[in-house]
Structure 1
């Protein structure tokens, strides 16, 4: 019996280092596999760009005067009683633009005729804005809120291939700033009046 115990003890003594070695190898293999998985390049994911509904017809902007789009009656209705002032906006690809101030409301509207790129530029992830789909009359549009810019809101109307009407509505320096949601509603009202005028003049 003593000899048998010695042989068992001896066998165990020989097996234990081997088991430790095997466990060490399996742990090392598992760790290496996990490291390999963590080091494997992630599969890039792309979010499909949303597409706007089709336009009912095209309204080319090339030959238009932005200061003549809104009629006098429309400006009165929109509380934009200031004198329209035209200029060229270099930030929008040298777009013809027009600013109209509301002396009573303290708000300012700006219409710009962008002819160098389509409205889908606002849907690109590089734009870094909150762009939400809307309809202005029968035309697809985007309501654009720019992070960090609480005193302005844009509505971009898809009027023709590679062209869009940009309507900016902003607070003009009121003692109590106009809330941005209200500014967005103002931008939509101006955009609707502009599109109504443009479709009537076609």
Structure 2
């Protein structure tokens, strides 16, 4: 593991990553075994980052459920935002009880996928074509058929390179997994 500067200028530890350089659904790769099952049913995504963790990520707004609704499966999204100064950015997190992170490796989806280890859990980093200059997603396989989806989105165009956006998404996912382990 290596330290990388976060958006707020502090150091953060990144997860280990194995680049596949492929699109989802190409087959042949699987996620490592989970260290434990962290069921996500009924957990409020706005409780996944503590105040201390939010400060570590540099957010300056209270978390709130996304007024626009939910992810593609109907799960609520919670937004943690930094809107003061520049760069401006946000973290969106959803808990997905309908599918594990492994679907990104098994099913054909319009995304570039990289297998990761986030806090001891298998995960995938997904980059959607056309969104690579504004966002990066990390989907953590937390239980059989369940996942935690963390997205880092940049609101200040060009302020942060893609690799740093993905490092920020991984770090946000690590913190959310730490909190999820205390909520079981």
1:56: which partner in 2? Answer: 35
Q: Aligned runs of 1:48-127 on 2, under 5 Å?
A: 48-87=27-66, 88-91=69-72, 93-104=73-84, 105-124=87-106, 126-127=108-109
1:183: which partner in 2? Answer: 165
2:8: which partner in 1? Answer: none
1:155 partnered with 2:138: yes
Stretch of structure 1 that moved more, 176-185 or 129-138: 176-185
Stretch of structure 1 that moved more, 125-134 or 58-67: 125-134
Query: 4+ runs of 1 displaced by more than 3 Å?
Result: 46-49
Q: How many angstroms does 1:47 deviate by?
A: 5.6
The one of the two structures with greater contact order (alpha-carbon pairs below 8 A, sep at least 6) is 2
- Summarize the Cα distance change of 1:130–1:47 in structure 2 as closer, same or farther, 3 Å threshold: closer
Query: Mind listing any 5+ residue stretches in structure 2 that lack a counterpart?
Result: 1-24
Indicate conservation of the 8 Å contact 2:27/2:106, yes or no.
Answer: no
What is the TM-score normalised by the length of structure 2?
Answer: 0.78
Tell me which protein shows more helix as a share of its residues. 1
Indicate conservation of the 8 Å contact 1:128/1:146, yes or no.
Answer: yes
The superposition leaves residues 107-165 of structure 1 with CA deviations (integer Å, 9 ceiling, x where unpaired) of 11000111112212211352131111111111111111112212100000000111100
Q: How many angstroms does 1:101 deviate by?
A: 0.6
Q: How many angstroms does 1:194 deviate by?
A: 0.6
Tell me which protein shows more strand as a share of its residues. 2
Query: Mind listing any 5+ residue stretches in structure 1 that lack a counterpart?
Result: 1-45
In 1, the alpha carbon distance for the partners of 2:51 and 2:178 equals 14
In 2, the alpha carbon distance for the partners of 1:165 and 1:177 equals 26
Larger C-alpha radius of gyration, 1 or 2? 1
